[in-house]
Chains A and B, each alone.
Chain A
Amino acid sequence: MSTTAPDEIAPDEAALLAQFEQVLARHDRIEPRDWMPEKYRATLVRQIAQHAHSEIIGMQPEGNWITRAPSLRRKAILLAKVQDEAGHGLYLYSACETLGVSRQELTEKLISGRQKYSSIFNYPTLSYADVGTIGWLVDGAAIANQVPLCRTSYGPYGRSMIRICKEESFHQRQGYELLMTMMRGTDAQRAMVQESVDRFWWPALMMFGPPDDDSPNTAQSMAWGIKRDTNDELRQKFVDMSVPQAERLGVTLPDPDLVWNAERGHHDFGQPDWEEFHAVVKGSGPCNAQRVAHRRRAHEDGAWVRDAATAFAARSSVESVETQEARA
């Protein structure tokens, strides 16, 4: 990638922009030290931060069931999954740091409600089947959104996404496998799975964002190679993928308009309740306040520990300098 030597006269912004656009046109990556338009940087920070926050907030609805997991094997799977989410949050906050924004700043924005996270986590987990449904549908929708991001134009983000997608696909399989197992269990378990799918289907479809004609940021993000498919394209792909999986599982998807359209080669399907979507995004979902309050409490409760670690590290480095000087 191009860099400007300090003693050269910086080319004007038009030339830099032209160079930037050439990189995009070649489908190459933009790297942290490359010049980039401010709006590109801001859009990336917004998108990556939102993704990082989603991982961290997403630990709550699933973490809700760790202590009640009904088998030790399921407990291990769930605990490992929630741990992976913390790891994904770490990679993504690190990717943001390459754009000049610290984890601390982003956390402050999250807990003060100035940055968003995926609205799906503003729905509660009400039964153990939700652990499976979140894996199958929510992680499935997340993967459909995220796989194209492995080819996104910003290098650190794309590379994080490759690793994250591999782990997410594992989570999706594990979720689906839990539901499959429960469907082979008792009638009560089968009913639990169906009830959970009924609750999560529409919110999962909302995860792709508003319809294309109501998505103000899509065009610019696609031009910049930050986004690779439109919301509606991804939603269609997800529905087409989920229908045979639901059949195999033995559950019905709660959409009377869902039907195969041979002409289009795709399923037709109903629209989620977009009013509910906008209401949840604006903060009045069933768990918005709870999720943010939980994160704020954990962050504030941990402040004295982080302060102690910082103070200890500062003292240790002073002491090690003093020791070196004493030896010299």
Chain B
Amino acid sequence: MSDDHESVYDGLLGGDDTQWAFGTSFEDPLAGVDTTVPEGVDAGALAAYCLMLGDDALVHSHRLSQWASNAPDLEEDIALANVALDLLGQARLLLARAAAADPGLVPALPEGSPVPSEDALAFFRDEAAFRNVRLAEQENGDFAATVVRLLLLSTHRLALLQRLAASTDQVLAAIAAKGVKELTYHRDHAARWFLTLAQGTEESRRRLLAGLALVWPLRAELARTHPVERLVAEQGVGVDPATVTDEVDVLLEQVFSVSGVERPGLPATGTVAGGAGREGRHSEAMGRLLAEMQVVARAHPTGLW
């Protein structure tokens, strides 16, 4: 038998960067990509829009990653980590796109700080500057609530990304095209579990319905058009979320119907002083989420990771 796997130590002291899974130093995820903002597009609005899409992905990824070592079985541990990794990858690209379009959005760090802009945005922005919907930031609850949230968020996001693949911003279009493949899997995974829990045991059905009741009222926020979303839609770079609602409803209805679950008739969660996540007005869960996510990075504003 060949012993070539015994050479695992050989490269440790060498300088061959190609051996490393994620590169050996920070690389701009958009390196080599033309990030010029298309003519007639408001760069500030494009950047704000990328933050909305990027923060939804980052914050939802954070919640899903909390399942690591806590999932119902090893297969699901792996699956949820996969989804979290996909969303994290989308978040990195979208935050980098936001920073390239409008460098003014990136929080200021001490002179000479090596912290790249995607990390400055993720770890040094305050809560009110995050633009994710409140649905993404809620604590996980049990596995049923996690599945319902994944179904709602992925169905909506997939519909958005399918349209965004035609964005006049080439960067956003490319990010969306990659994301469509990922989101198709996420939605499928969530729908399968939705059906399984609905039709599994009495207990799983009870929990699924409870999870649905918990999560559903926050869904309305996804379809609420923010002025930035309206503007980028008019300029051909973004999608007005209200325009995907019908399609999303039909898709969800299919999942509900095959699962024998009634679409909830619950009222939408209210806004705060007229605003919600897209305006930076979050739920109480968000502050704790960010405190945890940002604690190490903020302790080392000139740190090199």
Decide if B186 is an interface residue (CB 8 Å cutoff). no
Decide if A56 is an interface residue (CB 8 Å cutoff). yes
Looking at the complex, which of A9-17, A109-117, A169-177, A261-269 is the stretch in contact with chain B?
A: A169-177
| Between-chain CB contacts (< 8 Å), 22 pairs | A67-B62, A67-B292, A70-B119, A72-B58, A72-B122, A73-B92, A74-B305, A79-B65, A86-B68, A150-B1, A172-B8, A178-B305, A182-B304, A186-B300, A245-B12, A301-B143, A304-B201, A304-B204, A305-B76, A305-B143, A308-B204, A311-B200
Q: Please name the 8 residue pairs, one residue from A and one from B, whose CB atoms are nearest each other, closest first.
A: A308-B200, A302-B72, A308-B204, A185-B304, A169-B8, A305-B72, A83-B81, A59-B69
Q: Considering the chains assembled together, what is the distance between the CA atoms of A76 and B22 in angstroms?
A: 9
Contact at B300–A90, with CB atoms within 8 Å? no
Contact at A312–B196, with CB atoms within 8 Å? yes
Residues of A within 8 A of B (CB): 56, 59-60, 63, 66-77, 79-80, 82-83, 86-87, 89-90, 93, 128, 140, 143, 147, 150-151, 162, 165-166, 168-170, 172-174, 176-178, 181-182, 184-186, 188-189, 241, 244-245, 248, 294, 298, 301-309, 311-312, 315
Decide if B21 is an interface residue (CB 8 Å cutoff). yes
Decide if B49 is an interface residue (CB 8 Å cutoff). no
Q: Considering the chains assembled together, what is the distance between the CA atoms of A147 and B295 in angstroms?
A: 38
Contact at B88–A72, with CB atoms within 8 Å? yes
Decide if B275 is an interface residue (CB 8 Å cutoff). no
Q: Considering the chains assembled together, what is the distance between the CA atoms of A314 and B292 in angstroms?
A: 42
Chain B 50-94, CB-CB to A under 8 Å as 1, else 0, gives 000000001000100110111111111110011011001101100
Contact at B200–A71, with CB atoms within 8 Å? no
Contact at B69–A90, with CB atoms within 8 Å? no
The interface residues of chain B lying within 8 Å CB-to-CB of A147 are: 5-6, 8
From the candidates B11, B68, B142, name the one contacting A66 in the complex (CB within 8 A).
B68
Decide if B293 is an interface residue (CB 8 Å cutoff). yes
How near does chain B come to A158, taking the closest CB pair, in angstroms? 8
How near does chain A come to B76, taking the closest CB pair, in angstroms? 8
Q: For residue A93, which residue of chain B has the nearest CB? A: B74
Contact at B68–A308, with CB atoms within 8 Å? no
From the candidates B142, B195, B300, name the one contacting A188 in the complex (CB within 8 A).
B300
Q: Considering the chains assembled together, what is the distance between the CA atoms of A113 and B73 in angstroms?
A: 19
The interface residues of chain B lying within 8 Å CB-to-CB of A128 are: 296, 305
Contact at A76–B119, with CB atoms within 8 Å? no
The interface residues of chain A lying within 8 Å CB-to-CB of B85 are: 76, 79-80, 83
Q: Considering the chains assembled together, what is the distance between the CA atoms of A326 and B296 in angstroms?
A: 62
- Chain B, interface size: which category? 35 or more
Q: For residue B143, which residue of chain A has the nearest CB? A: A305
From the candidates A59, A77, A189, A306, name the one contacting B22 in the complex (CB within 8 A).
A77
Q: For residue B88, which residue of chain A has the nearest CB? A: A76
From the candidates B11, B72, B95, B296, name the one contacting A173 in the complex (CB within 8 A).
B11
The interface residues of chain A lying within 8 Å CB-to-CB of B5 are: 147, 150, 162, 165-166, 169
User: Given A67-B66, A79-B81, A147-B8, A244 and B303 touching (CB < 8 A)?
Assistant: no
How near does chain B come to A104, taking the closest CB pair, in angstroms? 10
How near does chain B come to A315, taking the closest CB pair, in angstroms? 7
The interface residues of chain B lying within 8 Å CB-to-CB of A304 are: 201, 203-204, 207
Contact at B196–A309, with CB atoms within 8 Å? yes
Decide if B185 is an interface residue (CB 8 Å cutoff). no
Tell me whether chain A's interface is mostly helix, strand or loop, or mixed. Answer: helix
Residues of B within 8 A of A (CB): 1, 3, 5-6, 8-9, 11-13, 19-26, 58, 62, 65-66, 68-78, 81-82, 84-85, 88-89, 91-92, 95, 114-116, 118-119, 122-123, 142-143, 195-197, 199-201, 203-204, 207, 292-293, 295-297, 300, 302-305
Output the residue of A67, A70, A74, A93 with the most chain B CB within 10 A: A70
Tell me whether chain B's interface is mostly helix, strand or loop, or mixed. Answer: helix
From the candidates B72, B92, B115, B300, name the one contacting A301 in the complex (CB within 8 A).
B72
How near does chain A come to B267, taking the closest CB pair, in angstroms? 29
How near does chain A come to B109, taking the closest CB pair, in angstroms? 13
Q: How many inter-chain residue pairs (CB < 8 Å) link A and B?
A: 197
Q: For residue A143, which residue of chain B has the nearest CB? A: B8
The interface residues of chain B lying within 8 Å CB-to-CB of A305 are: 72-73, 76, 143, 197, 204
How near does chain A come to B89, taking the closest CB pair, in angstroms? 7
The interface residues of chain B lying within 8 Å CB-to-CB of A166 are: 5, 8
From the candidates A59, A73, A165, A244, name the one contacting B8 in the complex (CB within 8 A).
A165
Q: Considering the chains assembled together, what is the distance between the CA atoms of A71 and B77 in angstroms?
A: 22
Contact at A308–B197, with CB atoms within 8 Å? yes
How near does chain A come to B255, taking the closest CB pair, in angstroms? 15
Q: Considering the chains assembled together, what is the distance between the CA atoms of A308 and B196 in angstroms?
A: 7
Q: Considering the chains assembled together, what is the distance between the CA atoms of A301 and B1 in angstroms?
A: 44
The interface residues of chain B lying within 8 Å CB-to-CB of A177 are: 20, 24
Q: For residue A52, which residue of chain B has the nearest CB? A: B74
Q: For residue B19, which residue of chain A has the nearest CB? A: A173
The interface residues of chain B lying within 8 Å CB-to-CB of A181 are: 25, 304-305
The interface residues of chain B lying within 8 Å CB-to-CB of A63 are: 68-69
Contact at B88–A75, with CB atoms within 8 Å? yes
Contact at A185–B303, with CB atoms within 8 Å? yes
From the candidates A69, A72, A75, A186, name the one contacting B302 in the complex (CB within 8 A).
A186
Contact at A79–B78, with CB atoms within 8 Å? no
Contact at B88–A189, with CB atoms within 8 Å? no
From the candidates A93, A189, A241, name the one contacting B300 in the complex (CB within 8 A).
A189
If A70-B303, A304-B204 are given as contacts, then 8 extra A-B residue pairs at C-beta distance below 8 Å, sorted by A number, are A68-B295, A75-B65, A83-B78, A86-B78, A147-B5, A170-B21, A173-B11, A302-B71
Q: Considering the chains assembled together, what is the distance between the CA atoms of A74 and B296 in angstroms?
A: 12
Q: For residue A238, which residue of chain B has the nearest CB? A: B9
